[in-house]
Chains A and B, each alone.
Chain A
Amino acid sequence: MNLTLKVWRQASANIKGGFVTYPVANISEEMSFLEMFDVLNERLITEGNEPIAFDHDCREGICGMCSMHINGRAHGPQSGTTTCQLHMRHFKDGETITVEPWRAKAFPVIKDLVVNRSAFDKIQAAGGFISVNTGNAKDANSLPIPKDDADASFFAAACIGCGACVAACKNSSAMLFVSAKVSQFALLPQGQVERVDRALNMVKEMDALGFGNCTNTGSCEAECPKEISIENIARLNREYLLATLKK
């Protein structure tokens, strides 16, 4: 199929960017969206132009590195799918596709479609852990955990930290990301000791890094490639409220 791409090009953080239009021809339906970009970049290189910079790594939907905003949607039109797993069979011949980087104050553009998401690491460092030094653990089966709790914790922990929730939110809120991490630990007995501090510290760090407030529009859940539930946000709100009362 033949397509027209409108791609955001920006040489670096401090240089103003803009859209550039590229026609792409003979795209196979079997290609992934990123493989289509590979084809375009290969052509740009042979023509003596600079290829489009974009983030990607595992290309199997788990590392969370790819981050394109496609036709106004984080990771494109397929729900529950990262950009790397989006295949061209979901587009029509002759279509024009607009591709932008994540847009959020806390995720500044580095170049073209590449943004800086290190704010997520900082939130994690503020409390997204259980403080257990290597070698301190007791036998794993000495602490039975109800399957339903373990499963719920797992579903929260399935977050890949890609930032689509932030990009999808009109307020650039990171609540879905933070709530998924807080939930993973809040649902497990191992996470109880630091429960109060974790909620307070992660939320405080999130606010300090310039993420917006949550107004419950639900767009984060709709765009999350791992379909993390917005119920986690409700849980985080409860955790936070209880934590403020306890402190």
Chain B
Amino acid sequence: MSKLDSKIPEGPIEQKWNAYKDHVPLVNPSNKRNLEIIVVGSGLAGSSAAASLAELGYKVKVFCFQDSPRRAHSIAAQGGINAAKNYQNDGDSIYRLFYDTIKGGDYRSREGNVHRLAEVSTNIIDQCVAQGVPFAREYGGLLSNRSFGGTQVQRTFYAAGQTGQQLLLGAYSALQRQVGLGVVKMFTRHEMLDVVVIDGKAKGIIARDLITGKLERHSAHAVLLCTGGYGNVFYLSTNAMGSNVTATWKAHKRGAFFGNPCYTQIHPTCIPVSGDHQSKLTLMSESLRNDGRIWVPKAENDKRKANEIPEEERDYYLERRYPAFGNLVPRDVASRAAKERCDAGFGVGSSKMAVYLDFAAAIERYGKQQAGKLGEEHANITRVIALGKEAVKEKYGNLFAMYEKITGENPYEIAMRIYPAVHYTMGGLWVDYELMTTVPGMYALGEANFSEHGANRLGASALMQGLADGYFVIPYTIGSYLNSQIRDKVTSTDHPEFLAAEKNVSDTINQLINIKGTKSVDYFHKRLGKIMWDKCGMGRSEKGLTSAISEIRLLREEFWKDVRVPGASNELNIELEKAGRVADFLELGELMCIDALNRNESCGGHFREEFQTKEGEAERDDENFMYVAAWENKGNNTYEVHKEELKYEVVKVAARSYK
């Protein structure tokens, strides 16, 4: 008997959410004033949830480890946000966004949740525009759209290459408004280090003031974890340096099940690794695949420069393998195809672990278009290219500038070199339809939960999900739980469980500081990252995963014996912060491998080499694996899997093809 109840409402798919909203218990305004909510994390999900809940009248405390809530890593999202507005009249609809997301996720997400996401997607755009988010517009003053991978319509709204920044600043402004009104209390440079669970319910958190090192006990009626993903378990990723799993991992150890931990998104278009000093990887937005063409030389080990290789000696392998979607296949497919070419010896650049993303054709096409517009039908090629570069600059200028800053190469002249990198984690805390984890009163929103993206997330859908959860889902669903809490005063922070949790945190900190070993935290983090990338990255196998598990166990032992954390606990101590996070990654990494080993199939971003078609495509096993793997922590790095069976009542499950 499964312990998991997804609480998907009854009824036809397009009526579930409305029916839910019509019947969910409400909390009256005078009671809201007495109910306190803790929000951990201030990215799109956290800021939008905190602002919206405060607007409803709840008392909210927000925690973030950065020096300002505006710096959460949602800020770095480049390309855009999807919404089923159908402003382009190209046949988009809520159903199509729903369907694309289910298919994009390789039939491993919940229909009910995804349909709700597609429904509220349109409200998000309205809300953001009302807040003054400066989306890109056409000359007529209406909003502009572009395409992203895995879709055949233009439904992506954007603000140049910094959509995440503009959306986050919108949510942040709403949040700061509530801070100014005194409804939200903001705790910056604070890191959550444990959740306090009393009688099975989440009642507060232990946080460390990162400047003074002081541990603080905060109580509330509900705790929302909006702390993002765990891609940094790979050390090198497109995540911010501080992004970590600690909040959700501590919650997991306090009883929240972890859903599909092995589902990792490796993004196809990132700037390749340049050396051992590399601290992080930089994404080049998927929007570039609207116009850039991806290729490698047809000849193995071709030493010529990109522009010296004639057209007929180039292999546009995505266009060749997937003519229907071409360069706009979903991320998992594009990444695997790049790896396949490089592994086969066709890679480019000094490392041979890169492929070209080429804008020459786009520059010429736009140049001709522009020349035509200007009445210069007979413009020579130099003029056409000059006009084309202008047009490409208008679209992607800041991305090109960023590429040049990092690599020292001018992408208007030389094709970009790109390679896949860890970008997003579809896995996360298991939540039900109400976004509640398996611990009552504890919620997970945005990337921190496992929900809508199945085994692969489509581009421009993370921003959509973070804001959907925060603005339009949690304000409704939280009432269903808080309604039962109106009689209870907030728990005293002197409750024995609070004191015990604080002592637990303090003991761990003292232990880390007192190891006084010989190796830095980064030393261990890099080693863990290498194990994960080699054995639990783009290609996984039983043999690799089995060996990864034992390597991680040994590495973890070594860490707890030999890590060196300089400084003291009662001051700003960045190494101590990192040590705590890496300690958690060293546990999570093992669970990711266990989950990947358990899932004897390939789906989405999870590619088990044993399970592939003759053409090298992922081969699902719907009969045995059409479920969410929700892992319960049994202590001492042991886990038990619980299965939530996925039922498809609307979408016909099929092999996922982009050919």
Contact = CB atoms under 8 A, between A and B. Distances in A.
Contact of A111 (B67, B277, B572): B572
Contacts of B131: 129-130, 132, 190
Interface string A103-138: 000000011001011101100111111111111111
Given A45-B566, A137-B123, A146-B141, A158 B179 contact: no
Nearest to A190: B132
A76 interface: no
B530 to A, nearest CB: 16
Contacts of B566: 45, 48-51
A166 interface: no
Contacts of B52: 133-134
Contact of A118 (B68, B142, B238, B408): B68
Given A49-B566, A130-B173, A117 B68 contact: yes
Interface string B603-628: 00000000000000000000000000
Contacts of A190: 129-132
B104 interface: no
Contacts of A31: 275, 277
A139 B86 CA distance: 12
Interface residues of B, number: 83
Contacts of B136: 150, 154
B247 interface: no
A211 interface: no
Interface string B486-528: 0000000000000000000000000000000011101100000
A191 interface: yes
Interface in A67-117: 78, 80-81, 85, 87, 89, 110-111, 114, 116-117
Contacts of B282: 59-60
Interface in A157-213: 157-158, 160-161, 184-185, 188, 190-191
A89 B162 contact: no
Interface stretch (A33-41, A216-224, A232-240): A33-41
Interface string A10-26: 01100000000000000
B571 A60 contact: no
B276 to A, nearest CB: 9
A39 B166 CA distance: 33
A117 B71 CA distance: 12
Interface string B100-132: 000000000000000000000001011111111
A57 B66 contact: yes
B141 A118 contact: no
A185 B166 CA distance: 13
Given A30-B274, A154-B166, A184-B132, A120 B241 contact: no
Given A59-B280, A81-B405, A160-B165, A137 B129 contact: yes
B295 to A, nearest CB: 25
Nearest to B243: A57
A78 B52 CA distance: 40
Given A140-B126, A157-B169, A35 B279 contact: yes
B200 interface: no
Interface in B237-276: 238, 240-242, 274-275
A137 B68 contact: no
Contact of A46 (B132, B138, B188, B518): B518
A158 B136 CA distance: 13
Contact of B73 (A58, A145, A154, A188): A58
Report the 3 A-B pairs with minimum CB-CB distance, sorted nearest first.
A144-B141, A125-B180, A137-B130
Interface of A: 11-12, 28, 30-32, 34-35, 38-39, 42, 45-46, 48-51, 53, 55-65, 78, 80-81, 85, 87, 89, 110-111, 114, 116-118, 120-121, 124-141, 143-147, 150-151, 153-154, 157-158, 160-161, 184-185, 188, 190-191
Interface of B: 48, 51-52, 55, 66-71, 73, 75-76, 85, 87, 123, 125-132, 134-143, 159-160, 162, 164-166, 169, 172-174, 176-177, 179-180, 186, 188, 211, 238, 240-242, 274-275, 277-280, 282-283, 401-402, 405-406, 408, 471-472, 475, 518-520, 522-523, 564, 566-567, 571-572, 574-575
21 contacts: A32-B279, A50-B567, A57-B71, A57-B240, A58-B75, A60-B238, A60-B282, A60-B283, A89-B408, A114-B572, A116-B67, A121-B68, A121-B69, A121-B176, A134-B174, A134-B475, A135-B471, A137-B123, A147-B139, A150-B137, A153-B134
